[in-house]
Structure 1
Amino acid sequence: MSNQHKKHRREQPRLSPGAGALPNLGGTENMTVDQFKAEMRTGTGARLAVQLFIAMAFAKAEKERVDAYIMPIFAKYDFRVAKDMPGHTAGEKITNPELIYLAGLENEAVTAFYAECDAAHRAHGWRGAEGACPALVAARDQIKAENNLIKWAAPLFGVSFDTVNCSTLRREFVENLLCAAAKSL
């Protein structure tokens, strides 16, 4: 390696946290761009990105699997919006089980629906907590994997976890990190 090349490598820009950044989470402060690429290829960044890719794939597959047996149960009911809410009118038919809360959780039909869902989850092999939905648990695990990646990377860019997490930038931040990991492979 020539001296000029060595000099260039030493003068690479550093990714360092600004004011209010999270504490160092694994030696990420003052990391060069090349070190970041290496981390995204084989280090902590790569490990966290792979964990997130797996969690995303599992969450998507689990939602599809659960929807396949929950939607027929949902179709047996005629859920209606209980009271006027922004974007919804009282009496309007609820066509998506994710909006069932609009019917009012004290509604007897909602209670019966949830009981049928729990029985269906068990019939389809769910061994988790009673009353928990396997698709929602998988979605929660995906969010935890995203949070781990954000907590690791946020200090590199001089932002705090809270700044990324509580903004419209969260999705873009995570997507950019996943792209960096994919490009580093």
Structure 2
Amino acid sequence: MNKSLLSTLACSLVLAACSTTAQKPAASTEQPVSAAQAAPAPVAAPGLSAAELEAQKLKAQREELAKKSVYFAFDKFAVEAKYHDVVKQQSDFLKGHANDAVTVEGNADERGSREYNLALGQKRAESVRKALVLQGVPDARIEAVSFGSEKPRESCAEERCWAENRRVDFQHKDK
């Protein structure tokens, strides 16, 4: 009886050992991808072409850039020095992607008339547009629009909300 138990145990160990051996991957026909091409690549579904992967990467980069805004002091439209890095990131992306265009969207807080806030939002958008042009982005690839106080991020009558709403947002697209 001990012999059959030992035989069964030995067979089990051999089968278990066989199931965990590493298998050599099949030879790939794809070209190696450089680190610059791979980062920051989104997780792709199997079977996507190189063009589809590049489109996903571009979309992810645009989404990250859209999260960045330039903020303004009350009743001001000059780009402050602390936002020069945001403008630089946007301009670097635009200069590196010749088929990309951007809409800079000026916003204002709720204080002031509708007409005043539209005008202030436009001045803010134009200020950021000019900063992008000074960084080397062709003017034809930038559209400056104003939403005035029509697209608030925050809706309370406090300085923290008003400060969040005094901004320029970036929306990238194919030109």
TM over 0.5: no
Q: TM-score, normalised by structure 1?
A: 0.29
**Greater relative contact order (CA < 8 Å, ≥ 6 in sequence):** 1
* Structure with the larger strand share: 2
Considering only CA atoms, is the larger Rg found in Structure 1 or Structure 2?
A: 2
